[in-house]
Chain A
């Protein structure tokens, strides 16, 4: 009878071990598949600007820049929104707060391909007709080379906007948890010495939960980094160094989805190499996120016990 027990335990251990095996498998398989690209180009692959299937020369820089710039735009927009939305939701009346929280969570449930379609047919025309002319001409920002005067609705800014809507619910959910974690005693004391709500939020809640908030930021960052479909629809898929935030570009994920089907030989290997770069980037970010969230988790246990 007890042998049967041990067998079950080992079976469970093997199942759980699968996750570790998969994790390692990702790195190993991607490395093996991209080996010929690494041998051909070496490390300069990471900062080479060319992506030229005709001459079989590949470099990762354009898509890395595209990935980072869309992610940065998404974070810059989503972060203040998520922070203040979480602030509102935690303080709102319970029923209102719950309904609104659930509807923001629904944003996370909508499949990314739907965001892509919406971006392609609704957001991109709007950007082209109103937002981009407004930014570039009316506000006169077109003089700066970062903004530029050439636009067609697609590009880094549009992709960043869509990404910011997509990652907002993730960041917001984590921030809500973190804000609820603040001991009531601390908040009440802050109100007691005459702080306004904003001062309490900034000086007490934010300071107390800063690690959790950082964890949430990294989770959002990871989402934005690896998002494929929504970006693929609106970024324009141009394998060149972007000249401004209106210009078309490509992210690593969109490049993979876009070029993989027709790629052969060295190009395919270069795509695998891009995948490996993305894997390393998101692995690093997840590790950071877990580090910060784990720290708050321990603190949460302490506050309860």
Chain B
């Protein structure tokens, strides 16, 4: 065996220790740096009228973000309505009906793979199935795209959460004469409700900052989101993209930072509060 002097080994160990501390500090530092930048620049455009007035065409000075905020909320909410019920049922199938092992395995596998499919491709897909046939961009198409992203995430967390419910509960429910459906919905899902809610909220927070699919589906408009089903709908992520890359005006960059701050705060608040409130359930 190769001989290694003790000092050398100790030195290497010290070096790795320092390096790994530095790695953690670097990662946390990068996070703080990004948040600090967004907060610093974004805070300057915070005032009431910023939230109350809609966006203006290029060059106009006093535009706000009200319509984009409303549009984003509508799109995300629509996605949740579309994705949550079927995704919960899909999770129930994977967790509760174990008699079709092969089918479950294939579906679980495709859900895992779907989770890693780039969001830009989901946007492309939604464009092909909704925007091309109807001939116009719409907020609804954006909701569908986001729902496709949410679907496998909720499905897998539902399965994991239901898997944690002890079998004794299921058996007692069935022994009392409940049907399988009733036992699943009233006993198993109810006792796992915190976990299910965590999964749904976390996937919502992830999806609400998603930009790439919206470029292909919702696009952007300067008006209020009146035609969610038939026309381009204003939304925050595309607003940020448009204002910071396609505009020469300092005012618009400023508004872009403001919008970025709003989105970041929303996403982080949903994310953090979900983690904190439902923490004990996770372990």
Residues on A with beta carbons closer than 8 Å to the beta carbon of B227: none
Residues on B with beta carbons closer than 8 Å to the beta carbon of A29: 125, 128-129
Let me know if A84 and B275 touch, CB within 8 A.
Answer: no
Residues on B with beta carbons closer than 8 Å to the beta carbon of A100: 24, 28
Let me know if B181 and A117 touch, CB within 8 A.
Answer: no
CA A146 – CA B244 in complex, angstroms? 31
- B interface footprint on A189-233 (CB within 8 Å = 1, 0 otherwise): 000000011110100000000000000000100110111110011
Residues on A with beta carbons closer than 8 Å to the beta carbon of B256: 117
Q: CB of B193 within 8 A of chain A?
A: no
CA A109 – CA B208 in complex, angstroms? 10
Let me know if A115 and B27 touch, CB within 8 A.
Answer: no
Query: Nearest Cβ in chain B — how far from A72, in angstroms?
Result: 17
Q: CB of B192 within 8 A of chain A?
A: no
Let me know if A111 and B210 touch, CB within 8 A.
Answer: yes
Of residues 79 to 124 in B, which have CB atoms within 8 Å of A's CB atoms? 86-87, 89-94, 96-97, 100, 103-104, 106-107, 109-121, 124
Residues on A with beta carbons closer than 8 Å to the beta carbon of B31: 103-104, 106-107, 110
Let me know if A12 and B89 touch, CB within 8 A.
Answer: yes
Residue of A at shortest CB range from B257?
Answer: A117
Let me know if A282 and B90 touch, CB within 8 A.
Answer: no
With A17-B107, A111-B263 known as contacts, the answer to whether A85 contacts B13 (CB < 8 A) is: no
Residues on B with beta carbons closer than 8 Å to the beta carbon of A43: none
Q: CB of B19 within 8 A of chain A?
A: yes
Let me know if B27 and A172 touch, CB within 8 A.
Answer: yes
CA A4 – CA B185 in complex, angstroms? 13
Query: Nearest Cβ in chain A — how far from B264, in angstroms?
Result: 6
Query: Nearest Cβ in chain A — how far from B85, in angstroms?
Result: 8
Let me know if B27 and A278 touch, CB within 8 A.
Answer: no
Let me know if A15 and B116 touch, CB within 8 A.
Answer: no
Let me know if B30 and A165 touch, CB within 8 A.
Answer: yes
- B interface footprint on A1-42 (CB within 8 Å = 1, 0 otherwise): 110110011011101111110110110011001000000000
Let me know if B179 and A85 touch, CB within 8 A.
Answer: no
**Interface centre among B10, B30, B271, by most A CB within 10 Å?**
B30
Query: Nearest Cβ in chain A — how far from B9, in angstroms?
Result: 6
Q: CB of B52 within 8 A of chain A?
A: no
Let me know if B89 and A15 touch, CB within 8 A.
Answer: yes
Residue of A at shortest CB range from B88?
Answer: A15
Let me know if B110 and A228 touch, CB within 8 A.
Answer: no
Q: Name A87's contact: one of B20, B120, B211 (CB within 8 Å).
A: B20
CA A196 – CA B112 in complex, angstroms? 38
With A8-B180, A88-B21, A285-B116 known as contacts, the answer to whether A272 contacts B90 (CB < 8 A) is: no
- Chain A at the B interface: mostly helix, strand, loop or mixed? helix
Residues on A with beta carbons closer than 8 Å to the beta carbon of B118: 222, 225-228, 253, 278, 282
Residues on B with beta carbons closer than 8 Å to the beta carbon of A232: 241, 245
Residues on A with beta carbons closer than 8 Å to the beta carbon of B237: 111, 113, 229
Let me know if B116 and A19 touch, CB within 8 A.
Answer: no
- Chain B at the A interface: mostly helix, strand, loop or mixed? helix
CA A290 – CA B41 in complex, angstroms? 41
Residues on B with beta carbons closer than 8 Å to the beta carbon of A228: 118-120, 211-212
Q: Name B13's contact: one of A18, A121, A197 (CB within 8 Å).
A: A197
**Interface centre among A19, A102, A165, A199, by most B CB within 10 Å?**
A19
Let me know if B107 and A19 touch, CB within 8 A.
Answer: yes
Q: CB of B234 within 8 A of chain A?
A: no
Let me know if B215 and A19 touch, CB within 8 A.
Answer: no
Let me know if A12 and B24 touch, CB within 8 A.
Answer: no
Let me know if A5 and B180 touch, CB within 8 A.
Answer: yes
Q: Name A88's contact: one of B23, B129, B216 (CB within 8 Å).
A: B23
Q: Name A233's contact: one of B21, B110, B245 (CB within 8 Å).
A: B245
CA A8 – CA B184 in complex, angstroms? 10
Residues on B with beta carbons closer than 8 Å to the beta carbon of A261: 215
Let me know if B120 and A253 touch, CB within 8 A.
Answer: yes
CA A283 – CA B117 in complex, angstroms? 7
With A88-B21, A110-B31, A257-B212 known as contacts, the answer to whether A117 contacts B87 (CB < 8 A) is: no
Q: CB of B247 within 8 A of chain A?
A: no
Residues on B with beta carbons closer than 8 Å to the beta carbon of A238: none
CA A20 – CA B91 in complex, angstroms? 13
Q: CB of A289 within 8 A of chain B?
A: yes
CA A168 – CA B111 in complex, angstroms? 23
Residues on B with beta carbons closer than 8 Å to the beta carbon of A107: 27, 30-31
User: Can you offer 9 A-B residue contacts whose CB atoms are under 8 A?
Assistant: A8-B181, A16-B155, A19-B155, A22-B151, A29-B125, A103-B31, A117-B240, A165-B27, A226-B116
Known A-B contacts: A5-B180, A272-B124. Give 16 more (CB < 8 A).
A9-B180, A12-B89, A16-B91, A16-B94, A16-B104, A22-B114, A26-B125, A29-B125, A88-B21, A111-B208, A113-B209, A199-B13, A257-B215, A260-B216, A275-B121, A282-B116
